[in-house]
Amino acid sequence: MPCSRAVRLLFLVGAALALSACPHRGAATPRPAGTAAVVKVVDGDTLDLDLSGSTVRVRLLGIDTPETVDENRPVQCFGHEASSYLAQLLPRGSIVRLERDVEARDRFGRLLAYLYRVDDGLFVNAALIEGGYATTLSIAPNTMRAHEFEVLRVQAQRDKRGLWGACPSFGSPVDAAATTTARR
C-alpha cells in the first residue's frame, strides 16, 4: 500500500504542476510582437491602445478626420460619423498591428502609426479614406503611404462617399452641413 500511495501523491503533484503551467481560464492570450489591443476610440483618427501593458495614445498616419473633441473648434461635419466608423472597425479589445513611418511621435507625444486589423488584415487608415470618413494628411517625413492615400481620396471624393457627399467642404462646422442640405 505505501507504494500506491506514493504513486498517487506523485501523480497529484505532477498534475498540479502541469495545470499551473497552463494559462488560466479567462487570462489574456499573449499577442504577437508589434500588436496592440484597442482600449478606446478618441475620435476618427486617434485612439488609445494597450501596448505591452501600457495605454498609449495613437494618431493614425496619413489621414485627417473631421474634429469632434477639439475644444477650440466646433464639431465638424461628419466628425461623429468618422468616430463611430472607427469604433465600428475597431471595437474595444480588437487586436491591431502597428506599422511606423519615419517619425515615432508627433508634437503632442502621440505614437504615429498605420494600423492593420489582425483578424482580417484590414488596413484601417485606408478604409477611413476609402469610405469618405477621412481626407489625406501628409506631413513630411511621414509620407510612405501618401500616394496610395491620395488615390483613395480622389476616388471617394469623385463618388461623393461619406463626408464628400454630406458636407459643403472638409472641416466645415456641423451646422453648415444642415444649411447646405436644406438648400438642396
Residues 32, 23: contact at Cβ < 8 Å?
Answer: no
67 catalytic per annotation? yes
Q: What residue type is assigned to position 170 of the chain?
A: F
Q: Report d(CA 3, CA 58) in Å as an integer.
A: 62
Residue 133's nearest CA partner among 116, 110, 146, 149 is: 149
Catalytic residue among 59, 97, 145, 153: 59
Q: Report d(CA 125, CA 128) in Å as an integer.
A: 5
- Residue 114, classed as helix, strand or coil, is strand
- The rounded radius of gyration (Å) of the Cα atoms in the chain is 23
Q: Please identify which residue in the block is written with the cell numbers 480622389.
A: 154
The angle at the Cα of 154, spanning 148 to 160, to the nearest 5 degrees, equals 135
Catalytic residue among 67, 97, 145, 153: 67
Catalytic residue among 81, 97, 110, 145: 110
110 catalytic per annotation? yes
Residues 112, 106: contact at Cβ < 8 Å?
Answer: yes
For the annotated catalytic residues, the residue numbers are 59, 67, 110
